[in-house]
């Protein structure tokens, strides 16, 4: 498909089925069509997290925040990723952003 929405939906369905590699491909294609597709960037981060790829997970969340600095789910997810790495101070910094 050449529709960002169709590709996004394929990503969502693939994620629900545990087909994470397929989800990554679909989300990346959707983002190629619309680089500022916050939800696709965020979901790409979630999938990378499921795959255990923390650096790509963080990169995807940070891109989502660059597009929309007020996108709270990405700030929360970055905080969670920092906690996975044992970086409580950075996690706390992200959580503080959520309180603003």
Residue 2's pLDDT is 86
What is 4-99's CATH number, 3.20.20.70, 3.40.50.360, 1.25.40.10, 3.40.50.720?
1.25.40.10
Query: CA-to-CA distance for 54 and 74, rounded, in angstroms?
Result: 14
Average pLDDT over residues 86-92: 94
Residue 99's pLDDT is 83
Residue 98's pLDDT is 85
**pLDDT single digits (tens) 3-62:** 999 999 999 999 999 999 999 999 999 999 999 999 999 999 999 999 999 999 999 999
Token duo for residue 27 = 């989300």
In contact, 88 and 99? CB cutoff 8 Å: no
In contact, 30 and 8? CB cutoff 8 Å: yes
> In a 3-state reduction of DSSP, which class is residue 88?
helix
């Amino acid at each position: 498909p050449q529709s960002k929405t169709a590709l996004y939906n394929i990503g969502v369905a693939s994620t629900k089925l545990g087909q994470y590699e397929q989800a990554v491909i679909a989300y990346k294609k959707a983002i190629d069509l619309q680089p500022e597709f916050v939800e696709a960037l965020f979901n790409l981060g979630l999938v990378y997290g499921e795959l255990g790829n923390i650096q790509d997970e963080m990169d995807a969340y940070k891109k989502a925040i660059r597009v929309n600095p007020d996108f709270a789910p990405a700030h929360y997810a970055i905080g969670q990723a920092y906690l996975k790495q044992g970086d409580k101070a950075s996690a706390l910094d992200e959580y503080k952003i959520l309180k603003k």
